[in-house]
Amino acid sequence: MQGNRQGQLIYVVSDSIGETAELVVRAGASQFDRFLIDVQKYPYIEDKESIDEIIASAKESKAMIVFTLVIPELNAYITQQAALHGIPAIDVMGPLMQTLQNMLQEPPTGKPGLVRRLDEEYFRKVDAIEFAVKYDDGRDPRGLLRADVVLIGVSRTSKTPLSMYLANKRLKVANVPLVPEVEPPEELFQVPPERCIGLTINPEQLNGIRTERLKALGLTAQANYANLDRIADELAYSNKIIERLGCPVIDVSKKAVEETANIILEMIRKNNLRSEKK
């Protein structure tokens, strides 16, 4: 019965937010369901005085300490003080860090909070991917002014694959198809030229790509979509819009998505360097 369950207090001590140690503790505690495990977190511990207070409290409360202190001095100090006062203490990261150090022949940085920064990078990537999906194929022109990069070009110039690839590099990308019968959204002409990139392609190669696309859809290859005259008209219109915008152009003919993406990333890097110098 729950009223007869024994309890155990565990202090989670970290020089960051303590999520790693807490997850380990809760995973372990789940295997002892006859006991009530109470977890108390002490995040952002950065000095010996704070450790002294935790040690005193743990001794009085008969608590166990689980810690992730990557700063070597603090790690050694809490280990020493816990042993001195007879307090059970587990260094969650220690054995792993030592093994990695031995294997890699490289000392750890000793900087707290790096996992949290990795988490932040992950969520930035997720946000960028969601952005690329939402503003793909000109669905909502309001996203153009919020994008890090806007890709424009005729159909089948790899706008969507490029958007997703760059999103995985944590860039918010929107793309707009250029079609002679459809005037581009007004927002496109408000995007700074350096943040807009025009994509062009060899007409014959585009014809081949579109023909294969039609076959995959079960349609005749004679459709206007793959007609060379139609393609020439579309590319001429696309070039006209690109010139009007004054944005850089990349010829994606015979280029893999990764190759084009790397060109775009280099353009962005150079633009950022120029902005920093101003």
Q: Which residues are annotated as a binding site for ADP?
A: 153-160
Instruction: At 73, list the tokens.
Output: 């001095």
Describe the crossing of helices 257-277 and 159-167 by its angle, rounded to 10 degrees. 60
Distance from C-alpha of 242 to C-alpha of 178, rounded to nearest angstrom: 10
Residues whose CB is less than 8 angstroms from the CB of residue 152 and which lie 6 or more positions away in sequence, other chains included: 159, 175, 176, 177, 178, 184, 188, 196, 197, 198, 199, 238, 241, 242, 245, 247
196-200/149-153 β-pairing:
parallel
Could you list the residues known to form a binding site, using ranges.
153-160
DSSP code string of 105-171: T------TTHHHHHHHHHHHHHHHHHHHHHTGGGS-GGGGGG-SEEEEESTTSSHHHHHHHHHTTT-
Q: Rounded to the nearest 5°, which phi and psi values hold at 11?
A: -95, 125
